[in-house]
Amino acid sequence: MFRKILIANRGEIACRVIRTCRKLGIRTVAVYSEADDGAQHMRLADEAIAIGRAPAAESYLVIEKIIEACERSGADAVHPGYGFLSENRRFAEALEKKGITFIGPSVHAVHAMGDKIESKKLAKAAGVNTIPGYLGAISGPDEAAKIAAEIGYPVMIKASAGGGGKGMRLAWNEAECREGFVSATSEARSSFGDERVFIEKFIQEPRHIEIQVLGDRHGNIVYLGERECSIQRRHQKVIEEAPSPLIDAATRKAMGEQAVALAREVGYFSAGTVEMVVGPDKSFYFLEMNTRLQVEHPVTELVTGIDLVELMIRVAAGEKLPFTQEQIELNGWAMESRIYAEDPYRGFLPSTGRLQRYRMPQEGRHVRIDTGVTEGSEISLYYDPMIAKLCTWGRDRNEAIRHMRGALDATEIDGISHNVNFLAAVAGHPRFQAGRLSTAFIAEEFPDGFQGAALPEAERNAVLSVAVFAHLESEARARRISGQMPGYRPEATAKLVLFIGDERHEAEVQPAVDGIDVTIGDHIIPVRSHWRPGARRFDGVVHNQPFSAQIRPRPEGFRITHGGADLDILVRTPRAAELARHMPVKLPPDTSKFLLCPMPGLVVSIAVSEGDQVKAGQPLAVVEAMKMENVLRAERDGTVAKVAARPGDSLAVDQVILEFA
């Protein structure tokens, strides 16, 4: 067994690998960039070595710096995690030349299957079903448009060395194909150092289902069931689960055996994933093989009881797999929600800053949390914006969803924007709960973006009742404050008026043991809780059901977050509600004359000059954030009066880029 392992990665996956190494008694070495100085992964490791400046191209992607860190620390093996150099053949070769073990497959397998183009050629030659496409080198936008026309739109443009949705564009026509080719190659070059892309037919109404394979150096290869990864946004997975609600035992066996056959073709060992595009009729096509650990591996671990990182290490050390295919059993259901630093209310634009508050639910039998940050950590614009992976397990799918919804409601994050509300909205969506999934789920169910979940009446009344409870508890505390003016003493209120925007609700309150009974309309909602003013999380029983919510005081009321809904609730006495009708309405400022930077990012290019006439939909600027390039377009026709930013500028949210006449 290895004495010391260097983790050539950062964030939650580095922390995940360190956890297993500790269990095995193996010392660990972390590497970190200037932006990650003091990060959680370097604090957890036994040693930490600086490897360069913040951009990944100057630190985590520099093979020579990782090799040097191995030599300085005396590490005898390297775990690459996922992303960065995990599927880089030159990295695996460089380690091999230095006598350092690469905890992953052979150089041959990395080359044959890690390259998306070569893997498709190999799969096709082996008789595996593949999606129609063009796998050769593409010289430029003209050739890309010609190839796409021959295949037939829609087409997908993908980076050959890609992963995680980077360097990937969907094109429905020639204009989108040309623009997508330029964006995909640029993104591929900056993210992977390899600008090659390929084009394939886009299968409509597809499901993204993958098979986890595991092999050793002695020729044993098994599959560990499937993962459903169809809930995606911009080709980035959002929620994953194992097993899939679509796949039956016969299809699982067919997909698994095909994945194993493909892995055996290249002498595969270590953990790997064969990704499939699956139609509603359960027909499946080979998509690609990832020759590394997947982000979503925890759901497979939760339903199989197998530590994939441990087995990767043991296989790399020459050990045999401790089980056969027949001994692998799937137990229960698992789900993973990816919590990102992004603003779903503003088109999921990246968010950066400090985690001023970061409290996750308690881990246990039903909840697992993989994270690489702590309260006070900085979310940088240089890397993937993942904060944590929240995983839940249940005896069946409904139970796993129920635990997920409760865990999301119990998650507290302040200081940056995040997608917890969106995840909760998806988990509570009737179509998701019914298992009717596809990779177009988010686009179809949230076509106008995300503005918060629409709660059913019972849940909405529950949230209103919690606001009443919080208001009365705050009033009760006010009555206990000493030194109040003579002649005035606040009194408990029996009738209240609640407002959510222009929506008005009248409530009556009756005291009860450990709580209150709230009447809203024809509904009586019992609220029982030990919540006290100042607590940011409400936990209790509402209408005889466990209930969690985030609660923040605001003038005349509370902001309550539950089930994906973020509600500003005003709580007033009937007299105060009557007087409030006469208050003037404050209008927001007009910013229509400006192009504002929608996220913290780096200006890549400005496409216009002062005095230019622009048309609606015309590209104006490109801003890069979290390794993704974002094209900003004109919302309407106009004339550019002033250019306030230049390529290379680092901008904050809502900073002016252009001003229009």
C-alpha dihedral, 623 to 626 to 628 to 632, nearest 10° = -30
Q: Is the pLDDT confidence value at 92 over 80?
A: yes
Q: Are 310 and 164 in contact (CB under 8 A)?
A: no
**Same structural domain for residues 468 and 539?**
yes
Of the candidates 177, 201, 225, which is a domain's last residue? 201
C-alpha dihedral, 112 to 116 to 117 to 121, nearest 10° = 60
Domain containing residue 525: CATH number: 3.30.700.30
Query: What tokens were used for 467?
Result: 């606001």
Query: What tokens were used for 595?
Result: 């192009």
Return the pLDDT at 513.
85
Reported confidence tier of residue 161, pLDDT bands at 50, 70, 90: confident
To the question of pTM greater than 0.75 for the whole model, the response is yes
Helix spans in 225-265 (H): 249-265
Q: In angstroms, how far is CA 350 from the centroid of its own chain?
A: 11
Rounded Cα distance between 404 and 414, Å, is 20
**Same structural domain for residues 462 and 555?**
yes
**Same structural domain for residues 166 and 76?**
no
Inside any domain, residue 623: yes
Q: Is the pLDDT confidence value at 227 over 60?
A: yes
CA distances from 257 to 126, 211, 252, 260 (A): 13, 10, 8, 5
Query: What tokens were used for 320?
Result: 């045999």
Reported confidence tier of residue 234, pLDDT bands at 50, 70, 90: confident
Interval 177-205: pLDDT, tens: 999 999 999 998 888 888 899 998 888 78
Phi, psi of 502 (to 5 degrees): -90, -5
Single-letter code of the amino acid located at 502: D
Q: What is the DSSP string of 320-358?
A: PPSS-GGG----SEEEEEEEESEEGGGTTEE--EE-SEE
Total tally of structural domains belonging to the chain = 4
Helix (H, G, I), strand (E, B) or coil at 312: helix
Inside any domain, residue 598: yes
**Same structural domain for residues 196 and 138?**
yes
Three-state SS annotation for 457-516: HHHHHHHHHHHHHHHHHHHHHHHCCCCCCCCCCCCCCCEEEEEECCEEEEEEEEEECCEE
Phi, psi of 291 (to 5 degrees): -90, 55
**Same structural domain for residues 571 and 599?**
no
Inside any domain, residue 521: yes
H/E stretch holding 228 reads: strand 221-233
Of the candidates 148, 169, 201, which is a domain's last residue? 201
- Tell me whether residue 307 is exposed, middle or buried, using C-beta atoms within 10 angstroms of its C-beta: 0 to 12, 13 to 18, 19 or more: middle
Interval 331-362: pLDDT, tens: 999 999 999 999 999 888 888 889 999 999 99
Interval 439-479: pLDDT, tens: 999 999 999 899 999 999 999 999 999 999 999 999 888 88
**Same structural domain for residues 49 and 96?**
yes
Q: In angstroms, how far is CA 211 from the centroid of its own chain?
A: 20
Beta bridge partners of 4: 27
Q: What is the DSSP string of 537-586?
A: EEEEEETTEEEEEEEEEETTEEEEEETTEEEEEEEE-HHHHHHHTTSPPP
Q: Are 564 and 429 in contact (CB under 8 A)?
A: no
Phi, psi of 118 (to 5 degrees): -65, -35
Of the candidates 201, 222, 241, which is a domain's last residue? 201
Rounded Cα distance between 634 and 285, Å, is 39
Q: Are 85 and 60 in contact (CB under 8 A)?
A: yes
Inside any domain, residue 77: yes
For residue 511, cis peptide bond before it (omega within 30 degrees of 0)? no
Phi, psi of 474 (to 5 degrees): -65, -40
279-293: b (≥16 Cβ within 10 Å) or e: eeeeebbbbbbbbbb
Interval 94-145: pLDDT, tens: 999 999 999 999 999 998 887 777 787 888 777 788 887 887 889 899 999 9
Q: How many residues does the chain have?
A: 661
Query: What tokens were used for 107?
Result: 């150089």
Rounded Cα distance between 40 and 50, Å, is 14
What's the half-sphere exposure (Cβ side, CA atoms, 13 Å) at 52?
14
Beta 523-529 vs 613-614: how paired, if at all?
unpaired
**Same structural domain for residues 69 and 94?**
yes
Q: Which residue has the higher pLDDT, 189 or 47?
A: 47
Q: What is the DSSP string of 352-378?
A: -EE-SEEEPPPPSSSEEEEES--TT-E
Rounded Cα distance between 546 and 245, Å, is 27
What are the residues whose beta carbons fall under 8 Å from the beta carbon of 502, sequence distance 6 or more?
Answer: none
Radius of gyration of the chain (CA): 27
Q: In angstroms, how far is CA 537 from the centroid of its own chain?
A: 23
Q: Is the pLDDT confidence value at 491 over 70?
A: no
Inside any domain, residue 72: yes
What are the residues whose beta carbons fall under 8 Å from the beta carbon of 97, sequence distance 6 or more?
Answer: none
**Same structural domain for residues 70 and 162?**
no
Q: Which residues span the domain enclosing 621?
A: 594-660
121-152: b (≥16 Cβ within 10 Å) or e: ebbeeeebebbebbbeebeebeebbebbeebe
Return the pLDDT at 24.
97
Single-letter code of the amino acid located at 492: A
- Tell me whether residue 526 is exposed, middle or buried, using C-beta atoms within 10 angstroms of its C-beta: 0 to 12, 13 to 18, 19 or more: middle
Single-letter code of the amino acid located at 205: E
Inside any domain, residue 402: no
**Same structural domain for residues 147 and 83?**
no
Helix (H, G, I), strand (E, B) or coil at 405: helix
**Same structural domain for residues 82 and 167?**
no
Inside any domain, residue 136: yes
Q: Give, in degrees to the nearest 5, the angle at Cα 453 between 447 and 458.
A: 140
Reported confidence tier of residue 21, pLDDT bands at 50, 70, 90: very high
**Same structural domain for residues 524 and 622?**
no
Q: Which residues belong to the active site?
A: 288
Interval 579-627: pLDDT, tens: 998 888 888 788 889 999 988 888 999 999 999 999 988 999 999 876 6
Question: How large a percentage of the chain has pLDDT more than 90?
Answer: 76
Interval 236-284: pLDDT, tens: 899 999 999 999 999 999 999 999 999 998 999 999 999 999 988 898 9
Domain containing residue 88: CATH number: 3.40.50.20
**Same structural domain for residues 15 and 71?**
yes
Lowest mean pLDDT among 249-253, 386-390, 554-558, 592-596: 592-596
Single-letter code of the amino acid located at 629: E
Q: Are 598 and 453 in contact (CB under 8 A)?
A: no
Mean per-residue pLDDT, 379-392:
93
Inside any domain, residue 17: yes
Reported confidence tier of residue 303, pLDDT bands at 50, 70, 90: very high
Domain containing residue 186: CATH number: 3.30.1490.20
